[in-house]
Amino acid sequence: MTAAPTASTRAGAPGEAAAPTAEEARVREFLERVIADGAAAMAGLCTSIGDRLGLWTAMAGAGPLTPAELAARTGLDERYLREWLDAQVAGEYLDYDPDRGSYLLTDERAAVLADPDAPTYAAGMFTMLQALYGSENALLEAFRTGEGVGWGEHGPALFEGTAKFFRPGYAAALVPEWLGAVDGMEERLQRGGRVADIGCGYGHSTVFMAEAYPASRFHGYDFHGPSVEAARSLAERSGLADRVEFDVATAQDYPGEGYDLVTFFDCLHDMSDPGGALRQTEHALADGGVCLLVEPNMSADVRENVHPIGRGMSAASVAVCLPSALAQPGPEALGNHAGEDVMRRIADGAGLHHWTLAAESPVNRVYAVTR
């Protein structure tokens, strides 16, 4: 009996190309995946352009628009807009009607691309790309030397993009879910408490908390001066400057004592001395005060990070989180997926012995830590 031909043995008929071997088929399949990833990386620039020029917002709820109609709405160049619109059709972000020559942003896509206040808004993450790709040469050098690339050494699009990327998650969950999950914290802040938000960046987390608890006072600290400036201007615009202050300080030496709540949103792992930051926090907390640690929902077992969020976060760790810590004086270089056990040990060493998982989302894990 003759064995049936397999993909690796089947020969083509005379004049026909031979069928690919199994190995060739696997290479082809991976090649297609990498091309798709490269295409998405290139198209990300167009997504960012749409976000920063307000194109998604201009198209949201507008029905089908021709390039001339979009140009009239935005005051932008029609020829560029047509090219951008065509690119969005190729990426299936817009529908095209060949009869009218018009382009449509559907409502469900608008919910992701057009409204920075929607909990599903994700276009902000593309702002970071300019900075990340712009840091490539500095990262090449860092890989060679083992030195860091400090947070402030990246382009300003990183700071703005980080704020835009995290803001919708904080809007959706910080007050309604995360603080609600910490025993007694809502009551404490409703009565009037003191809060320090460490590594506050552009201050969205601080301002969301301040809006929810009008009897409480809030202080945001970050060692990055331009971010503190942006946070101050957010507090002014929000009419909260009388009880929300922002100052430049490191997490290891921020001032004040008697805080009911000290928060670290997605920043503890960026620090080379997270133990020093938590020791300072242990010292700064009031009796019964709580430290809220919000960290990426990433596993120390890299096989568990094989999903889009894990992929994006791991890449951010290479480009930003690890280099940020390596640029600071201190003993640790955690990256963003050191895992809960490592963080917990550091907290314990800093005198914060009680550790609970208060809440979880696909992006974040939220720990409430106390003495």
Ligand X SMILES: C[S@@+](CC[C@H](N)C(=O)[O-])C[C@H]1O[C@@H](n2cnc3c(N)ncnc32)[C@H](O)[C@@H]1O
Given the rule CB under 6 A, which residues bind ligand X? 151, 162-163, 166, 199-201, 205, 222-224, 227, 250-251, 265-267, 270-271, 324, 328
Beta carbon nearer to ligand X, 126 or 223: 223
- Alpha-carbon span 224 to 352, nearest angstrom: 26
Q: State the DSSP code for 218.
A: E
> Which is nearest to 218 in space by CA: 198, 237, 233?
198
Beta carbon nearer to ligand X, 55 or 198: 198
Q: How far is the CB of 165 from ligand X (least distance, A)?
A: 8
List C-alpha distances in Å: 301 to 58, 196, 312, 340. 43, 32, 16, 11
Beta carbon nearer to ligand X, 181 or 321: 321
Q: How far is the CB of 266 from ligand X (least distance, A)?
A: 4
- Alpha-carbon span 116 to 102, nearest angstrom: 25
Q: State the DSSP code for 151.
A: G
Q: Compute CA 263 distance to the chain's CA centroid, rounded to the nearest angstrom.
A: 17
Q: How far is the CB of 321 from ligand X (least distance, A)?
A: 7
Beta carbon nearer to ligand X, 102 or 162: 162
Q: How far is the CB of 116 from ligand X (least distance, A)?
A: 14
Contact 195, 259 (CB under 8 A): yes
Q: How far is the CB of 316 from ligand X (least distance, A)?
A: 8
Token pair recorded at residue 307: 């999903």
Beta carbon nearer to ligand X, 161 or 193: 161
Phi, psi of 30 (to 5 degrees): -70, -35
Q: How far is the CB of 202 from ligand X (least distance, A)?
A: 6
- HSE toward the beta carbon, residue 332, CA cutoff 13 A: 19
Give the residue carrying structure tokens 């020969």. Answer: 11
- Alpha-carbon span 95 to 103, nearest angstrom: 6
Beta carbon nearer to ligand X, 102 or 317: 317
Q: How far is the CB of 228 from ligand X (least distance, A)?
A: 9
> Coil, strand or helix: which one is 256?
coil
Q: How far is the CB of 219 from ligand X (least distance, A)?
A: 13
- Alpha-carbon span 13 to 25, nearest angstrom: 19
Q: How far is the CB of 252 from ligand X (least distance, A)?
A: 6
Beta carbon nearer to ligand X, 67 or 274: 274
Beta carbon nearer to ligand X, 69 or 197: 197
- Alpha-carbon span 272 to 258, nearest angstrom: 25
Residue nearest to ligand X (CB): 201
Beta carbon nearer to ligand X, 305 or 328: 328
By residue count, the chain amounts to 371
List C-alpha distances in Å: 359 to 1, 179, 295, 356. 63, 9, 11, 9
- Alpha-carbon span 324 to 272, nearest angstrom: 8
